[in-house]
Amino acid sequence: MSEFTLYRGNRNYSSWSMRAWLALRATGASFREIPFHLGAPDYAAAIRAESPAGKVPALRHGDLLVWDSLAITEYLAEQFPDAGIWQVDSHTRAGARAVTAEMHSGFPALRAHMPFNVRRSSPGEARGTDVERDVERVMEIWRTCRKTADGPFLFGDWCAADMFFAPVVSRFRSFGVELDQVSGDYALSVWEHADVAEWIAGAQTESETVPHYDG
C-alpha cells in the first residue's frame, strides 16, 4: 500500500488537522506529516500548492488527494474497515455519523468565540448567548450518547465521533467551561486517550504563534 502523507496545520491551532491525524492514528498505518504554519505570510500559497481547497488538512495516498477532515476520515474507514473508525452495527454507526456530521458542519458561535488553542487559558471568556447554546448542545449530545454506550466514549469504543469532538474538549478546557458529571467524565476520557495526549503534547512544544487565535 502506498504511503500516506498528511498535510496539516499547527498542532496548537488546527482542530481540523487534529481530527484527520487522529483518524490516521486509529488505522495503525505509517504516515508522513508535512506541517504548515497557519500564521505564516506564505501559508495560503504554500498549502494551495498541495491542495486545491487551500486549507489543511489534506491527505495524499499515492495519486489520490483527499481534502476535508470528514472526507479523509471516511476514506480511511474504507481503507481500514477493521480500525474501528465506525461501528460495525448499522444503527450505532448511523448515530455516530449523525453527531460527527453535526460537529463537522455546526456550532458556529463556539468556533468563532472559542478558537482552538491548546496553550490558551481564558476561563470565563466568550460566554454569549449563542456560545452557551452551542455548549449546551454539545453536552446534550454527550449525555445522550453516553446513556447507552458500553464503554467510556460516545458509542462505547473510540471512534470517529470522539475524534471529531476531541478539539471541543480542548476548547472547553481553554475557556473553563463547567461540565456536568457525565460530560466531564467523557471529556476526561477523551483528554487521556493516548493519541489525543500525544497531539496535545506536541502542541505544547510548538513555538509558532497566531495572534488571531491567541486573544
Q: Using one digit for the tens of pLDDT, what is the confidence trace for 108-122?
A: 999 999 999 999 999
CA–CA separation, 76 vs 186, rounded Å? 25
Query: What CATH fold (topology level) applies to the domain 90-199?
Result: Glutathione S-transferase Yfyf (Class Pi); Chain A, domain 2 (1.20.1050)
- Give 84-99 pLDDT, tens digit per residue: 999 999 999 999 999 9
Range(s) for CATH 3.40.30.10 in the chain?
A: 4-83
As a whole number, mean pLDDT of residues 69-87 equals: 97
Q: Which three cell numbers stand for residue 163?
A: 475524534
> Is the pLDDT confidence value at 1 over 70?
no
Whether pTM exceeds 0.85: yes
Task: Give percent of the chain above pLDDT 70.
Answer: 99
CATH 1.20.1050.10 occupies which residues in the chain? 90-199
Right CATH for 4-83 from 3.40.30.10, 3.40.50.970, 3.30.465.10, 3.40.190.10: 3.40.30.10
Residues in contact with 214: Cβ distance below 8 Å, sequence separation at least 6, in sequence order? 117, 120
Judging by beta carbons within 10 Å of its beta carbon (0-12, 13-18, 19+), is residue 43 exposed, middle or buried?
middle
